[in-house]
A and B are shown apart, each in its own frame.
Chain A
Amino acid sequence: MFGKAVCAICAVALVAGCKAQPAANQANAVIPSAETGNAASAAAPLSHDQALALMKQRHDHMEAFGDETKKVHNALQTSSPDVNAIRQSAAKIAELAPKLVSWFPAGTGADVGKTRAKAEIWQKPEDFALKGQDFETAANQFKVAADRGDLSQINTTFAALGKSCKACHDLYRAPEKH
Chain B
Amino acid sequence: MTSTGHRKSTEAVVKRRVWDVPTRLFHWTLVVLVALAWWSAEYHEDDLHLYFGYGILSLLIFRIGWGIFGSSTARFSSFVPHPASVHRYVRDRFHWPTAGHAPLGALSVVALLVMLFVMVGTGLFALDEDGLFGGPLAYLVSIPASDLARELHEQLFNLLLALIALHVAAILLYRLVLGRNLLGPMITGKAKLAPDVQPMRPGKWWVALLALAAGIAITRWIIAGAPPFGS
The answer to whether A and B belong to the same complex is yes
Q: Is residue A49 contacting chain B, with contact meaning CB distance below 8 A?
A: no
B178: Cβ under 8 A from any A Cβ: no
Q: Interface-forming stretch among A37-45, A140-148, A164-172?
A: A164-172
**Binary contact readout B127-170 vs A (1 if CB under 8 angstroms, 0 otherwise):** 10111111010110001001000000011000000000000000
Q: B44 at the A/B interface (Cβ < 8 Å)?
A: yes
User: Does residue B231 face the partner (Cβ distance < 8 Å to A)?
Assistant: yes
Establish whether residues A67 and B143, one from each chain, have CB atoms under 8 Å apart when the complex forms: yes
Give the docked Cα–Cα distance between A68 and B132 (Å).
11
How far is it, in angstroms, between the C-alpha of A164 and the C-alpha of B132 when the chains are bound? Answer: 11
A11-19, A50-58, A74-82: which lies at the interface: A74-82
Closest B residue to A170 using CB positions: B44
Interface status of B121 (Cβ within 8 A of chain A):
no
The distance in angstroms between the C-alpha atoms of A21 and B134, with both chains bound, is: 40
A69 to B134, CA, bound (A): 11
Mask of B66-93 contacts with A, CB within 8 angstroms, 1/0: 0000000000000000000000000000
Instruction: Judge if B225 is at the interface, Cβ distance under 8 Å.
Output: yes
B44 in contact with A166 (CB, 8 Å): yes
Partner of A166, one of B132, B134, B136: B132
Once the chains are docked, how many angstroms separate the CA of A173 from the CA of B44?
14
B231 proximity list for chain A (CB < 8 A): 78-79
Given known pairs A77-B138, A162-B132, A169-B130, the reply for A71 and B44 (CB within 8 Å) is: no
Chain A residues with CB under 8 Å of B155's CB are: 178
Cβ B131 vs Cβ A70 within 8 A: yes
The chain B residue sitting closest to A63, CB to CB, is B129
Contacts of B129 in A (CB 8 A): 66, 176
**Pair A77/B154 contact, Cβ less than 8 Å:** no
Contacts of A165 in B (CB 8 A): 130, 132
Contacts of B225 in A (CB 8 A): 77
Q: Which residues of B lie under 8 Å from residue A66 when comparing CB positions?
A: 129-131
Chain B residues whose C-beta falls within 8 Å of the C-beta of A68 in the assembled complex: 131
Residue of B nearest to A71 (CB): B143
Min CB distance A5 to B, Å, is 16
Among the interface residues B129, B134, B225, which one has the most CB atoms of the partner chain A within 10 A?
A: B129
A178 to B231, CA, bound (A): 34
Interface residues of A in 120-167 (CB under 8 A from B): 162, 165-166
Docked CA distance A72–B139 (Å): 10
* CA distance in complex: A169, B44 (Å): 11
Does any Cβ of B come within 8 Å of A73's Cβ?
Answer: yes
Across the interface, do A73 and B136 meet the contact criterion of CB distance under 8 Å? no
Measured between alpha carbons, how far is A69 from B131 in the docked complex, in Å?
5
- Most chain A CB neighbours (cut-off 10 Å) among B127, B133, B146, B154: B127
B154 cross-chain contacts in A, Cβ below 8 A: 176, 178
CB–CB A73/B44 < 8 A: no
Residues of chain B contacted by A78 (CB below 8 angstroms): 139, 231
A-B contact pairs, 13 of them (CB 8 A): A65-B130, A66-B130, A67-B143, A69-B132, A71-B131, A71-B143, A73-B127, A162-B130, A165-B130, A166-B44, A176-B129, A178-B154, A178-B155
Mark B residues whose CB is within 8 Å of A.
44, 127, 129-134, 136, 138-139, 143, 146, 154-155, 225, 231
Q: Which residues of A contact B (CB under 8 A)?
A: 65-75, 77-79, 162, 165-166, 169-170, 176, 178
Seed contacts A77-B138, A78-B231, A176-B154; 8 additional CB < 8 Å A-B pairs: A69-B132, A70-B143, A73-B131, A73-B138, A74-B139, A77-B225, A78-B139, A162-B130
